[in-house]
A and B are shown apart, each in its own frame.
Chain A
Amino acid sequence: MDYVLNLWVNLATDLYQVFAGWGLPGWAAKLIIDFIIILILVILGVMAVIVLTPMERKVIARMQDRPGPNRAWPYGLSQAFADAIKMLTKEMILPRHADRLIYTTAPILIVIPALMIYAVLPFGPQAADAELQLGAANLNVGVLYFVALGSVASIAILMAGWGSNNKFALLGAFRVVNQLIAYEVPMILSLLAVVVLTGTMATQRIVEVQSIPYLIVMPIAALTFLASAMAELNRSPFDLLEAESELVAGYQVEYGGMKFAMFYIAEYVNILSTSILFSALFLGGYKFFGLEDAAPVLAPFIVLGKAVSVFFIMLWTRGTFPRIRLDQLVGLAWKFLVPIGLVNLVLVALVVKLSTNPWAQAGLLLLGNVVTLAVTFLIMSLAERRAKPSGSVVMSEAHPPEGISVNFTPAAER
């Protein structure tokens, strides 16, 4: 029974013994086990497409009151497999005058950073035997690593937009990069709040330190992170790159078959890794009311369960919010998320300086967060009341601001 409760560590230890029994040196056995772990993580990332797409389609369909995919057996759940087979059998197309080198390397380059992020995601408590460390690489810049790899992906997007020699693709790529750069700032600010509170950038350590989930303790940082993560992932309501009515499919418009599938895979790999990171930073990662100590075998499943819940929140947002305009998108980042992130950061730094007791810190932070949110909403409602008609961005509006004329006048008359 004890063996099963700590299955992963025991399996790895036994495997290590087996390899040692074959006369392999210690580092070689460790290397093989590391490769197996990497393989599992990569497969997990790619499996995300197979599991998350049916979930997305079904959940969104449910929210929009329609059946969704329902032909592929059973209940349309194997639609993703059918799609994968279709993608694999499609013809490879190279657009005329496309930059062949850039066009073909972009889909490869976009998947690499997406999969590399999995190196720092914590999936369970650290094994007591430090020699055989499973899962998250104990990188003491883990959080920064996540942000840095995210910024590498924007190069691949620019390559895709440029390489396909299509104006719509290029415009889509511009939009995405604009969005990625704008939302990197609030994302880093919210991550910084966590880093200041825990005093470490290693994701594993952040989970260990976290006694109360930080979503409860500092909701501002958590929600800022979620919003900017959704913008970084190009999820609706921030999916301006796929504004079909304006840009067709953005930077992916010239890609077909397996090349398109690579972008699709990268998107879902990123969604899963960001959800796991969110659960690690703000939901306590693999901790679940002491279950992770009683049965460490369940820790990865706790992490995945939390990640899927985060993904559900993303779907919920997608199902309920309309796509926001480009100026609203940039305005939301710079005029709302960045200032509130800065205030939150100062608050966290102050609290850390005031007290070292985690419970006192939690109470002070919660109080500060509530006050900050109240003041923010006060300021926003005041701003909305005296909002000038000159198209000033007010986020909570369902109707267009008065400055933007609804009755369309030709450009020449304006």
Chain B
Amino acid sequence: MSMQHVVFIILSAIALIGALGVVLNRRLFRSALFLVLSFVGVAGFYILLEVELLAMIQLLVYVGAIAILIIFAIMLSRQAMVADDKVLNEQWILGGLAAVVLCATLVYVLVQVNWPVVEVTVPANSIQRLGESLVDPNGFVLPFEVASVLLLVALVGAVIIAREK
């Protein structure tokens, strides 16, 4: 067992404990915090795969933005100071069934598909190459531009909604 395996097991434990904490916790706020723990574990996987950029973006977007959005939503929509929600509601049979089916499908796919393994090391200038491929006509320039236009539209829309009459 190499060092990578040990780190992988630790990171998996962090991500899984976080995920279990999300579903098994009675307090919604703590669930959101466990979600953050899970995100951090996933960021660790990216570092293990030597894509630091994705790890940092995972932290920045998921922990810094999405988790905070979720926490704000919880605080503003629930009876904020009252805790103790039930873990199970009346739909737990359906939910459990869906979870089991999804898990079985994923396991089946994982076992069935012959995952190709390529012996390539990550290039040192991977960030430069990522940036160049984003603006390269043979690369991802079209999806990149479409995404930026979409974000711009969202930004303008937010300004218009927030604008005083």
A residues with CB within 8 A of B: 99, 101-102, 139-141, 144-145, 147-152, 154-155, 158-159, 162, 165, 170, 174, 177, 181, 184, 201, 390
Contact = CB atoms under 8 A, between A and B. Distances in A.
B75 A162 contact: yes
A201 B53 CA distance: 10
A144 B63 contact: no
B80 interface: yes
A184 B164 CA distance: 24
Contacts of A140: 52, 124, 127
Interface stretch (B12-20, B25-33, B85-93, B100-108): B25-33
Contacts of B36: 155
Given A158-B71, A170-B80, A144 B27 contact: no
Contacts of B52: 139-141, 145
Nearest to B43: A148
Nearest to B53: A141
B63 A152 contact: yes
B53 A144 contact: yes
Contacts of B10: none
Contact of B67 (A101, A147, A155): A155
Contact of A159 (B33, B80, B164): B33
Q: Is the interface of B mostly helix, strand, loop or mixed?
A: helix
B57 A144 contact: yes
A145 to B, nearest CB: 6
Contacts of B60: 144, 147-148, 151
Contacts of A152: 59, 63-64
B94 interface: no
Given A102-B33, A162-B75, A165-B81, A144 B56 contact: yes
B64 A154 contact: yes
Contacts of A149: 59
Contacts of A101: 30
Nearest to A150: B64
Interface of B: 27, 29-30, 33, 36, 52-53, 56-57, 59-60, 63-65, 67-68, 71-72, 75, 80-81, 83, 124, 127, 164
A151 B65 contact: yes
Given A144-B53, A150-B64, A151-B60, 13 more contacts: A99-B27, A140-B127, A141-B53, A141-B56, A141-B127, A144-B57, A151-B64, A155-B33, A155-B71, A165-B81, A174-B75, A177-B72, A390-B164
Contact of A102 (B30, B57, B59, B65): B30
Contact of A154 (B29, B68, B75, B124): B68
A186 to B, nearest CB: 15
Contacts of B71: 155, 158
9 contacts: A102-B29, A141-B53, A148-B56, A149-B59, A152-B63, A155-B67, A158-B71, A162-B75, A184-B64
* CB-CB nearest 3 A-B residue pairs: A151-B64, A148-B59, A144-B56
Contacts of A390: 164
A189 B83 CA distance: 40
Contacts of B124: 140
A165 B81 CA distance: 7
Question: Which of B33, B65, B75, B83 is the most central at the interface, judged by chain A CB atoms within 10 Å of its CB?
Answer: B33
A155 B63 contact: yes
B132 to A, nearest CB: 12
